[in-house]
Amino acid sequence: MPSYSVSVPHRLGLEAARAHVERFLDNFQRDYADQLSDVSGEWAENQLSFRFLARGLNISGALVVEESLVRVSGSLPLAAALFRGQIERTIREELSRLLT
């Protein structure tokens, strides 16, 4: 199964970065509610394990907030493999905007 992986550095510190990520995820889920379903996520300390259905494709992964870095990685369905570069670029751009 294809995978994706993105790391974005930040200078916010752990707690502030996690707060930014949590607000972003709430907004993301609200703004794209018509395109997402079966959304689930569970925080364990500073790692969010998530899963959702987007346009009929199962997406899953983990988001880890560290003192100076946020990492997102997971698996993609085979049908999304051709878009891996675009998916990683979009995640990187959104996280960079969020964490500055």
| Structural domains present in the chain | 3-95 (3.30.310)
Q: Across the chain, what does the average pLDDT equal?
A: 91
pLDDT band at 89 (very low <50, low <70, confident <90, very high): very high
pLDDT of 30 reads: 83
Instruction: Please check whether residue 28 is in contact with residue 98, taking contact to mean a CB–CB distance below 8 angstroms.
Output: no
Apex CA 18: angle with CA 17 and CA 22, to 5°? 120
So what's the pLDDT on residue 34? 87
Hey, what amino acid is at 79?
A: A
H and E: helices and strands count for the chain: 2, 5
Q: What is the pLDDT of residue 36?
A: 85
Question: For the residues 32-47, what does the mean pLDDT come to?
Answer: 89
Distances (CA, A) of 3 to 16, 19, 26: 28, 26, 24
